[in-house]
Structure formats: structure tokens, C-alpha cells
Amino acid sequence: MRLKTKLVLAITTLVFFIAGILSLVYVSELLHSAVQQSYDANHMVANQVQFAVRQALESGLMDREVDPNNAAEWRHLAAEAVRDNAALQAVVESVNRYSLTVYEINIADSQSITLLSTNPENEEKPLPVRPNYYQLLNANPIQLMREVFGPPQVFDVVVPLERNGEPFVTVHVGVRTTLLRAFYAPWLAEALTLMGFVLGAALLAGFLLSNLALHPLKQISLQLDSWNGSGNGAGAAIPSEAAQSEVAQEDAKTPRDDMAVSVSHKIERFGQRMRNVEEVFSALKENLDRILGNLQDGILLFTGDGRVVLVSEAARRFLFIERESILGRQAREIFDPATLLGRTLIAAFDSRTSLIQEEILTETGRRIQVSLDFIPDAKSSRGLGALLTLHDLESAEAVESELELSRRMAAIGRLTSGVGHEVKNPINAIVVHLELLKSKLSGVSAPAIRHLEVIEAEIRRLDRVVKTLADFSRPVELQLREQDLRAVIDDVLALTETELSTHQVSLFCQMPSQPLMVNIDADLLKQAALNVIQNGAQSMPGGGQLRVVLEEEPKFALLRISDQGPGIPREIREKIFDLYFTTKSGGSGIGLAMTYRILQLHYGSVEVQSSSEHGTEFLLRIPIATAKGRRRLQPASVSDEKGL
């Protein structure tokens, strides 16, 4: 059955059902009203007859002597008075003739013997046994219809005439149901006419409403044809031969006239295509996220209205905003107008001006190459969107520099290992002979002994330098253990508390709320952090604030240590990790080189950012020991040429 036919039948049935119920209620109310009106009219007739009977009895019994205790005499006199009174008979005949619902009128005595009746055959006979009219008044609608429209019956309206508080004469007005039915017939005809009109209106309304209800389905079907690529419109996609064959088979199975089934099948096909596209999109997004996560350049993709929909993980290093906070925001909400980079990008977005590998020197001395390309769209003046690329010009140079530093340190390690071994033996021999010489010159003058002591002190200092070289070049066996990096940093800060207070340096420390598990040699990592913190404190002889911030990146734990010192000049920034390079009087030049080496042994990295206005910040990255895909570090030696 077609959907249209179902809708017409459903609407018609619903309207007919409601109209039928209302009509039945209306008919029952009409019938009850007719019964009530008939009762009121016939009760008034009975009262008129009663009044006429009273006058007949008064005139007929006047001037007659009657024994009050003789019931037979009283009945006889009452019968004569009733039958001989012409006025009473005239009233009874007129009512019986002109009333529409009165079947007959009977006047009976207290013994229910008929004294006077419109039907002469009833006189001097017992009254016919009939139900009281009150049964019709008190009947429910179903009983009332059954009584009125069932077999013909006569219901009596009874009005008594009392003497000494007891019924003496009763007036019975008989009402026949066929007469009630005839009285009610015009109203019933009107109700049936109304029901017929409502049924016709229901059919018409069902037809019109079904057309209105199915009209959107036609529009939906056309749109689905366009989306499914089966339409012939200008915007319809051209499906493959296999897809066309599949659509043709589905359409052949669908009834042509049933729009709902056709739309349902089309929605199902469209849903299947959407699920297939979603699977492909999920796979592409996963691959894209993996690629973007490995990129060193910051990439941001904007929509036509200027909102970010794609962000690479490296963008955070340029904008200092978390990736989740960038997505969905406008360009003005992302870029800081207080910085040169932010002002440049905001101006470019406002004027829709492309930037082609424009180099920007940030306030921290960082060189960034910016490229902004707007994607045109022939249908829209604002275009499809924009692609922003942020490239760190110093990153490639830094990687090359770090690799060169690693090679140099490896070569220095091999060289110092041999030098230390070759120098250590002569020094030991010199120390032994120096002791012998001091014993032989025990009685010599003090100046000679003082020269020997100077020689001994310098030899011991040379011995310490050689020992330091040997320790730096000796392979290190890492004692790796998985532990919370927060606890390690807390231990380092506790060790440096006294030194920081001595230099009048205040400490600002910020740690994550959750444990940050890393697989490290705690003693070595404490030494690396301690070297950087001590350098930061010593760079602020007049006091200042030292910031120690521990953060979590996707694959690394990042330890930021920044000071408010004068900064590191650009010309010597690449040399600070060289062994024995120092700018401090009395410095050994070993601390930062050791820090660099320790981070290498942990497969981490160390970076430095410095400016004369903001001081110096060291960034130490240590791989996170994640529960899924955890990488166990293996002990490394100094000969490993690992870069940052």
C-alpha cells in the first residue's frame, strides 16, 4: 500500500473517529434533551388533568353526605364525579389529540382501577402495568438509545391526588417511545447530515494533508539524488560505473509510487557513503596528525572566515600557546600584537596580504621565516582559507652546530683519554722525585723549600686537570631507574637553596600536578640541572629571580630554567657547551659541557635562548617513560655521537 494511501486512510480514520465520538455525544445529548422536554411537557399535561379531576370531584361531591369510613361509597361517588364531568373529559380529549408524544391518559383510584381513560376499553379495569418515565430520565446514553430505538414501549408520567396524606386518585399520562422517536427524528437527521459532512471534509483534508506531508519528501529525494550522485542536475556528482549499477539495482527494487521507501533507501545509501568517507577521513587525519607531529615547522590552516582548523605540534614553540587552545580561534585571538611576529601576522590577515618567506627577528633574538598564503576561491571573495608556515631559521644551523659539537666532543674525549693517560705517568714520576728532592734538601734554606712547594702545588693542580679530563672522557655506566622527575628537581632546588639566598636570588618554581615519570640516572640529571641553576644564580650578582618550570610535552619532559641576567652575547652563544670555555674568572668551563653530555646520554637535548632584555633561558628535554610504547634507555658512552 502506498504511503499516500496510508496517510489518507489514517487521517480519515482519525477524523472520522473523532467526529463519530463527538456525534455520538451530540446525539445522546439531543436524545436526553428530547426525553427531558417530553417529560416536562407531559408532566405539565398530567398536572392540568389533575387540576381538572380535583375540580370535578369538588363539584360532584358537593352537598353529598358520605361516610368517611365507607371506601366503596367514596369510590362510587368519585367515579360518577369523574365520568360525568364534561370539562374533565374535554381536557383529557384535547390533550390526547394535540400532544405529540401522549399515547393515552388514564385516571385511576387508589386500588389502581381505571375510572376514566382515553381508551374506553380500559375503564373499570386494572391499570396497564407500565414502567415509570423516570427510568428514561435516569438511563445512561446507551440504555436510553436502546429504550427509544428498541421495541415500542409506553412509559407513564404519574401525578397523584392525595386525600388525608394518601393517594386518592392518580393521573397516568402514557408516553410511547415511537412518538418520542418521531419527535427526535429531525434532530437525528441533522446530526447524521453533520457526520456525513465531517466525513467528506476528513477525506478531503486527508488528501490535502498527505500531499503536503509528502511534498518535503520529494524535495529530500531530489537533494539525496544530488548528494548520491544519481541526479541529473548541474551540481550532481558523476559516480563510477559500479556505483551507477548498484544505484540502478536499488531503484529497480524500490516501488516507484512509494516515496517514503525510496527516500529511506536513498538515505541508507547516503549514510553508507558517509560512513565510508568517515573511515577514509579518520585514516587520513591520523596520518596527517602523525606527519604534523614530526614536523619542526609550525603550520596553521585557516578557513575562509579566519578560524584555525589544523595546527602542527611545533606551532606551540613559536606562539607559546597550547595546540588545543589554538583550534577554532580567529587570527586576532591567537597572535600577540605586543610582539613583532604577532603584529606582522595580524596586519597581513587584515589586509589579506601574502607573506613569502619573510624573515622576522623576535624580541628574544630568534630568527623566524614566515610564509602566509591565501587560498583563492572563484565563488567567494574571501577565498577558501589561508596557510601559515613558521620556520625557525636557526633550527637547521643549530642542528648542524650540535652535530658538529657532538663530533668535536667525541674527538676531544678520545684525545683527552689518550693525553690523560700519557700525562698521568710523568706527573706521578715527577711527584715521586719531588718528594725525594725535598727530603734531600731538608736542611737547605727556606727560599729553596718555598720554590719546591710552588712546584708541588702546580703539579697537583695539573694532576687535577688531567683527572678531570680522564673523568670527562671515561665511559659512563648509567644507573637508569623510572622515577618522578618532580622529586628529582625538588632535590636539586633543596641543594641550591643556600647558594641562591647568598646571591640574593629569589626562586619561582612551577611543577605539574600529576607525576611526570622518566627513565633516568637521577644523580647525573641532578648534576646537569645543578650546573644550569648555579650558572643562572651567578649571572645575577645584584640579585633577581630564577624561574624553574617543569612542563609535559607529547614525548618529552621540558625543564625551563631562566634568569634575569645580562644574557649571553650572540657571538659566544655557540661556544658555551665547549669544554673549558668560560667567561667567568675562576670558572672551569666544564659545567655546561657536562650538562650537554648528560642530556646526550639520556637521548635528550638542551637549548638556550638569550637576550639582553629578558636574560637567558635553558630548555632541557628528557624523554618521558610512557606506559604505552615506553622506550628503555641503554647506557651510552662518550663516544656516542648523538645529536639534540
Q: Tell me the fold of 481-623.
A: Heat Shock Protein 90 (3.30.565)
Task: Centre a 10 Å sphere on the Cβ of residue 262 and count the other Cβ atoms it contains.
Answer: 21
- Sheet holding 355-361: strands in order across? 308-311, 298-303, 380-392, 367-377, 355-361
- Backbone phi, then psi, for 365, in 5-degree steps? 85, 15
For residue 324, give the amino acid letter: E
Domain 3-199 shares a fold with domain 397-473: no
Return the pLDDT at 408: 65
Q: Give yes or no for a contact between 343 and 349, defined as CB atoms under 8 angstroms apart.
A: no
Q: Tell me the fold of 290-393.
A: Beta-Lactamase (3.30.450)
Helix (H/G/I), strand (E/B), else coil: 127 = coil
Q: Tell me the fold of 3-199.
A: Beta-Lactamase (3.30.450)
Q: Which residues of the chain fall short of a pLDDT of 70? A: 1-5, 7-8, 63-71, 206, 210, 213-215, 217, 227-260, 293-294, 394-406, 408-422, 424, 442-446, 461, 464-476, 579, 585-588, 626-644
Return the pLDDT at 402: 64
Using the structure block, give the residue that is written with the C-alpha cell 630568534: 366
Q: Give yes or no for a contact between 504 and 543, defined as CB atoms under 8 angstroms apart.
A: yes
Helix, strand, coil shares, percent, the chain, to 5: 55, 20, 25
DSSP H or E run through 634 = none
Burial 398-410 (b: 16+ CB within 10 A, else e): beebbeebbeebb
Return the pLDDT at 539: 85
Q: What are the extents of the domains in the chain?
A: 3-199, 290-393, 397-473, 481-623
Return the pLDDT at 283: 80
Return the pLDDT at 253: 52
397-473: CATH number = 1.10.287.130
Return the pLDDT at 236: 40
Q: Is the pTM of this model over 0.85?
A: no
Return the pLDDT at 558: 93
